[in-house]
């Protein structure tokens, strides 16, 4: 299934995007992911190449971010603005503290996702993975939720710039709602955003409910399934397939973009879902299948959240990359043996069935119309 795969490497920048030792987002997650991937010898496979990233240009970043916001990031870096001026753009908060080289590090993460997009649209590879990416909370004019620039959105904008008739499906499996990507493309019919996440009633950012379906020309192209705390891996996987496959059938995307947050794991310190490690191989298989069934194999994957930085996160991302490479068998069985000492999951299947039915009923006609419009 996977004739060619790129691992986008941004090792120096992974260290540079660092909010400090007391911040939960640890850059070591990315470096350890590279280590796990190499330990599995995935980069030695004939169908895998490592591709060095570059820094995104101002034009690429401004394609989804307000120029005044970008100017503020750069001027704070240069000492030309006060901390209070940064707060107006979400900069200098406990979630997004200021750090030296902030603009360049953030632009490098976005550049890595743009390089992944370039690799795919050029035909150099079918799949590309940027584990440093997935900073999905940044909004057009605001840093938010550990995210300064929104690299998935920058990459999606690059895909649309390359071919204005292209349709992109963005699937976000982070425990937190993919709000920044949703709002940036909320009125864009060429982008369908799909997010499964712990409900905003209990978790940041407090959004991502079933009635958030897009607006204007993009009405019906935003799909959200909020999950109750302690939702089991079995229920999660059911909902993911029940939502994503029919949505892809209706929308007929040209490229699949995924945000692969690993904070859905039951042990994550910042959230409360009930997935164990055994849920991630079938999750990866499902996304891989969607890429080949509906997108001619074109799959751009990014990292995302996950705060067990030295244990769970690198393994989850290596599991996804192994699936991308067609080498799922390389994952050690021991990685999947992490059952908790007590039951941490609950079944919410009836609630999920109602949510999926509600969202598909509201969105399927619009997804079909968007697909017809861009291919007319």
Structure confidence at residue 190 (pLDDT): 98
pLDDT above 70 as % of the chain: 99
Q: Which residue among the candidates 103, 127, 137, 288 is catalytic per the annotation?
A: 137
Q: Is the pLDDT of residue 342 over 80?
A: no
Catalytic site includes residue 348:
no
Q: Is the pLDDT of residue 89 over 90?
A: yes
Structure confidence at residue 374 (pLDDT): 64
Query: pLDDT digit string (tens) for 153-206?
Result: 999 999 999 999 999 999 999 999 999 999 999 999 999 999 999 999 999 999
| Terminal-residue alpha carbon distance, the chain | 30
Averaged pLDDT, 45-65: 97
Q: Is the pLDDT of residue 119 over 50?
A: yes
- pTM exceeds 0.75 for this model: yes
Structure confidence at residue 156 (pLDDT): 98
Letter string b/e over residues 84-119, b meaning 16 or more CB atoms within 10 A of that residue's CB: eebeebbbbeebbeebeebbbbbbbbbbbbbbbbbb
When the pLDDT of each residue in the chain is averaged and rounded to a whole number, the result is: 96
Averaged pLDDT, 306-318: 97
Structure confidence at residue 375 (pLDDT): 57
Q: Is the pLDDT of residue 230 over 60?
A: yes
Structure confidence at residue 2 (pLDDT): 61
Spatial CB neighbours of 228, under 8 Å, sequence gap ≥ 6: 198, 199, 346, 348, 351
Spatial CB neighbours of 269, under 8 Å, sequence gap ≥ 6: 24, 307, 308
Domains and CATH numbers, the chain: 5-375 (3.40.800.20)
Q: Is the pLDDT of residue 129 over 80?
A: yes
Q: Is the pLDDT of residue 243 over 80?
A: yes
Q: Is the pLDDT of residue 106 over 90?
A: yes
Phi, psi of 280 (to 5 degrees): -80, -35
Structure confidence at residue 120 (pLDDT): 98
Averaged pLDDT, 37-54: 97
Structure confidence at residue 344 (pLDDT): 80
Q: How many Cα atoms within 13 Å fall on the side-chain side of residue 350? A: 0
Structure confidence at residue 11 (pLDDT): 75
Cis status, amide bond into 205, omega within 30 of 0: yes
């Amino acid at each position: 299934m996977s004739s060619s795969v790129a691992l986008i490497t941004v090792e120096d920048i992974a260290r540079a995007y660092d909010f400090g030792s007391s911040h939960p987002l640890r850059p070591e997650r990315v470096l350890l992911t590279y280590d796990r991937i190499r330990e599995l010898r995935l980069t030695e496979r004939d169908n895998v190449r490592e591709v060095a990233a570059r820094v995104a240009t101002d034009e690429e970043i401004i394609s989804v971010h307000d120029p005044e916001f970008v100017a503020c990031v750069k001027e704070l870096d240069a000492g030309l603005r006060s901390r209070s001026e940064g707060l107006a753009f979400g900069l200098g908060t406990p979630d997004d503290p200021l750090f030296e080289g902030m603009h360049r590090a953030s632009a490098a993460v976005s550049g890595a996702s743009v390089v992944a997009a370039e690799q795919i649209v050029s035909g150099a590879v079918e799949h590309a993975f940027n584990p440093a990416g997935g900073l999905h909370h940044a909004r057009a004019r605001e840093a938010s939720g550990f995210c300064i620039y929104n690299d998935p959105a920058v990459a999606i904008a690059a895909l649309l710039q390359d071919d204005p008739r292209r349709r992109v499906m963005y699937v976000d499996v982070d425990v937190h709602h993919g709000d920044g990507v949703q709002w940036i493309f909320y009125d864009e019919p060429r982008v369908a955003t799909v997010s499964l996440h712990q409900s905003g009633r209990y978790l940041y950012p407090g959004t991502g409910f079933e009635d958030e379906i897009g607006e204007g020309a993009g009405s019906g192209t935003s799909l959200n399934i909020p999950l109750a705390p302690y939702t089991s891996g079995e229920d999660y996987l059911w909902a993911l397939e029940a939502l994503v496959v029919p949505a892809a059938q209706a929308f007929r995307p040209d490229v699949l973009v995924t945000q692969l947050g690993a904070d859905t794991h039951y042990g994550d310190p910042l959230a409360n879902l009930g997935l164990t490690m055994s849920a991630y191989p079938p999750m990866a298989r499902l996304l891989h299948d969607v890429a080949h069934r509906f997108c001619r194999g074109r799959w751009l994957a990014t990292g995302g959240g996950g705060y067990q930085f030295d244990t769970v996160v690198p393994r989850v991302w290596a599991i996804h990359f192994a699936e991308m490479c067609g080498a799922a068998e390389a994952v050690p069985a021991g990685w999947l043996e992490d059952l908790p000492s007590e039951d941490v999951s609950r079944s919410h299947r009836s609630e999920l069935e109602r949510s999926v039915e509600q969202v598909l009923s509201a969105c399927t006609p619009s997804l079909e119309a968007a697909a017809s419009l861009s291919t007319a």
